[in-house]
């Protein structure tokens, strides 16, 4: 168990180092030697967890949403808002998320498959739009797949603009403005009146999500200990 925990810490340290280097240098100019130096690990330790720079980049791209629980709401429109505002909060506070977004938007990252985050974001939003449609929250004309693409693409542009102009300091205001402009074109006005778009919404959802993630992890550990015949 101690060895497994040590391996998890080492992998996390390597990913954090890679995130820092990728965010500062971009994918194309970042080097394995820089990541090794930043992580403070041996080449053998790095290659035990990641086979290449591309593998490292995919790890950073995947890590930004790993173990993230989106709290369920009665209103699926509120869940979509929460996804957007939670990501906004994490972009301002989590270097792994910032690095993942930098990689996703890095047009010079030759050979790197950057489609994963767009696909996962689109799927999350589309699924909730379909549920919102089924329970009568959306206007009749809405196409869930098309609207999901618009939400994801618009947010990608908004965050890129915020990063360039203010290093994400104004991202909450820009994300909020995007939602205020976009939602009335797809959501029933009677539903919009109860949607929470407060500036601190992202921070509150993050705290709720982190608590739920911790509870799930603790439950999984207890189940694993029980199956091994160990005290929980």
Output the six-digit token pair for 198.
């407060």
Angle value at C-alpha 185, between 180 and 187, nearest 5 degrees: 85
Using CA atoms, how far apart are residues 27 and 60, in angstroms rounded to an integer? Answer: 11
Using CA atoms, how far apart are residues 137 and 24, in angstroms rounded to an integer? Answer: 42
Architecture of the structural domain at 76-227: Orthogonal Bundle (1.10)
Selection from 220, 11, 178, 157 nearest residue 96 by Cα: 11
Cβ count near 60 (within 10 Å):
25
Q: Which residues contact 78 (CB under 8 A, 6 or more apart)?
A: 194, 195, 196
Tens-digit pLDDT profile for the chain (232 aa)? 567 788 888 988 899 899 889 888 888 888 999 999 999 999 999 999 999 899 998 888 887 776 678 899 999 999 999 999 999 999 999 888 888 888 888 887 778 888 888 998 999 999 999 999 999 999 999 999 999 999 999 999 999 999 999 999 999 999 999 999 999 999 999 999 999 999 999 999 999 988 887 777 677 666 655 565 555 4
The pLDDT score that the predictor gives to residue 114 is 84
Whether 2-53 and 76-227 share one fold: the answer is: no
Cβ count near 16 (within 10 Å):
18
Using CA atoms, how far apart are residues 146 and 122, in angstroms rounded to an integer? Answer: 10
Give yes or no for a contact between 88 and 201, defined as CB atoms under 8 angstroms apart. no
pTM of the model: 0.83
What is the residue extent of each domain of the chain?
Answer: 2-53, 76-227
Say if domain 2-53 classifies as CATH 1.10.10.60.
Answer: yes
Backbone Cα Rg of the chain: 20
Give yes or no for a contact between 136 and 189, defined as CB atoms under 8 angstroms apart. no
The pLDDT score that the predictor gives to residue 151 is 97
């Amino acid at each position: 168990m101690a060895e497994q925990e040590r391996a998890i810490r080492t992998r996390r340290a390597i990913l954090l180092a890679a995130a820092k280097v990728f965010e500062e240098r971009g994918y194309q100019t970042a080097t394995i030697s820089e990541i090794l130096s930043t992580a403070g690990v041996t080449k053998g330790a790095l290659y035990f967890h990641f086979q290449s720079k591309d593998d490292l980049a995919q790890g950073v791209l995947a890590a930004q949403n790993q173990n993230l629980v989106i709290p369920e709401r009665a209103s699926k429109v509120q869940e979509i808002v929460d996804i957007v505002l939670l990501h906004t909060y994490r972009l301002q506070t989590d270097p792994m998320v910032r690095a993942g977004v930098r990689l996703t938007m890095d047009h010079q990252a030759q050979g790197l498959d950057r489609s994963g985050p767009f696909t996962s974001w689109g799927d999350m939003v589309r699924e909730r739009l379909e549920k919102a449609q089924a329970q009568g929250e959306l206007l009749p004309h809405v196409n869930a797949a098309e609207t999901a693409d618009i939400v994801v693409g618009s947010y990608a542009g908004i965050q890129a603009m915020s990063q360039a102009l203010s290093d994400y300091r104004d991202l909450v205001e820009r994300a909020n403005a995007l939602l205020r402009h976009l939602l009335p074109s797809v959501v029933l006005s009677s539903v919009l009146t109860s949607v929470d778009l407060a500036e601190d919404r992202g921070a509150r959802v993050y705290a709720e999500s982190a608590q739920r993630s911790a509870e799930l992890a603790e439950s999984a550990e207890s189940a694993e200990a029980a199956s091994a015949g160990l005290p929980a």
